[in-house]
Amino acid sequence: MNEAANPRQRLLRVLVTVGPGGLWLLLFVLLPTLLVLLASLMRRGPYGELLGPLGLHNYLRLLEAPYLEAFAQSLWVGALATLLAALLGYPLAFYIARHPRRDLLLLLLLIPFFTNFLIRVYAWLVLLQKEGLLNALLLAFGLGPYAFYPSFAAVILATVYTFLPFFVLPVYASVERVDWQLLEAAYDLGARPFRAFLHAVLPQTYPGLFAGSVLVFIPAMGTFVVADLLGAGRVVLIGNLIQQQFGLTRDWPFGAALSVFLMAFVLLALYLYRRLQGERGLEDLV
């Protein structure tokens, strides 16, 4: 009797522990994704309604020049933001990891997350506009005013600021695990500082570098708030196109196709990351 009840008890335990999370994922992740995929195969009606028959016509529109340009610009913004985040965040991660007050520095790095993302973007708008604080500071030195906003540079600046902690934290985690005895061994073998760092320390931080790059690149190319507020229409990313389709133009099928395309690109990036870094790299990313 007990042996027959054991499988049922195990099933009950699984349903109690895993069931709520699985139901949540089913209702709020899998089902909405399937609905978006279905909508991407439909047509827009005269009043914005979804009509059949199903087809790939929305995906074929992605090959048109304006959408290819928006995707290329999204890739450029993501790549440039990732590069600048790496140039700033990599040495910053080493500085924090080697500093005696690193707990305080980590807190300072994370403090912006206590403020709403939209408010932080608006703060950059106030700082960079013609009558903003930055131009007021330059005027005090007899310089300016300059048109920092709206511009591509303003979008990049705010994007790097927003996602810089996402790069620093994985690199910091890798630096914490660095075996510094390898650096000492490189010095003992006659290597100069740069060469010793290049061969003894840098390879040990690759997981953090890859993880930080993925965590910056993917959201940087897909976010639309920064480009919408600080670019003022001059910088159009794929996220802006999705926003327009679901809002202004009410072309939900094409907006859904853009969303599916962006999700597929993200999954491809994660797949390539897994192939390069393996399971250990995924742990660092999480």
Got the DSSP string for 29-45?
IIHHHHHHHHHHTSEE-
Q: How many residues does the chain have?
A: 286
8-state DSSP, 189: T
- How high is the pLDDT of residue 283? 54
pTM: 0.85
Q: How many CB atoms neighbour CB 17 within 10 A?
A: 10
- How high is the pLDDT of residue 75? 93
- How high is the pLDDT of residue 188? 85
Could you tell me the pLDDT band of residue 286, with boundaries at 50, 70 and 90? very low
Whether 282 shows a pLDDT value over 60: the answer reads: no
Whether 95 shows a pLDDT value over 50: the answer reads: yes
- How far is the C-alpha of 148 from the C-alpha of 168, rounded, in Å? 26
The pLDDT mean for the chain works out to 87
Query: Cβ distance 158 to 223 under 8 Å?
Result: no
Helices (H), the chain: 2-17, 19-25, 31-40, 57-61, 65-98, 102-110, 117-128, 133-140, 152-176, 180-188, 193-196, 206-222, 225-231, 238-246, 252-285
Could you tell me the pLDDT band of residue 150, with boundaries at 50, 70 and 90? confident
- How high is the pLDDT of residue 133? 84
- How high is the pLDDT of residue 1? 45
- How far is the C-alpha of 48 from the C-alpha of 153, rounded, in Å? 36
- How high is the pLDDT of residue 5? 55
- How high is the pLDDT of residue 272? 82
Among the ranges 8-12, 55-59, 234-238, 278-282, which has the highest mean pLDDT value?
A: 55-59
Mean pLDDT of 163-171: 94
Could you tell me the pLDDT band of residue 260, with boundaries at 50, 70 and 90? very high
Could you tell me the pLDDT band of residue 281, with boundaries at 50, 70 and 90? low
Please provide residue 44's backbone torsions phi and psi, each rounded to the nearest 5 degrees.
-85, 130
- How high is the pLDDT of residue 280? 53
Mean pLDDT of 142-146: 78
- How far is the C-alpha of 257 from the C-alpha of 40, rounded, in Å? 5
Residue type, 81: A
**For residues 269 and 67, which has the higher predicted lDDT (pLDDT)?**
67
Please provide residue 50's backbone torsions phi and psi, each rounded to the nearest 5 degrees.
-90, 125
Between 92-96, 119-123, 279-283, the lowest mean confidence (pLDDT) is in 279-283
Mean pLDDT of 54-64: 92
Mean pLDDT of 257-261: 94
Could you tell me the pLDDT band of residue 49, with boundaries at 50, 70 and 90? confident
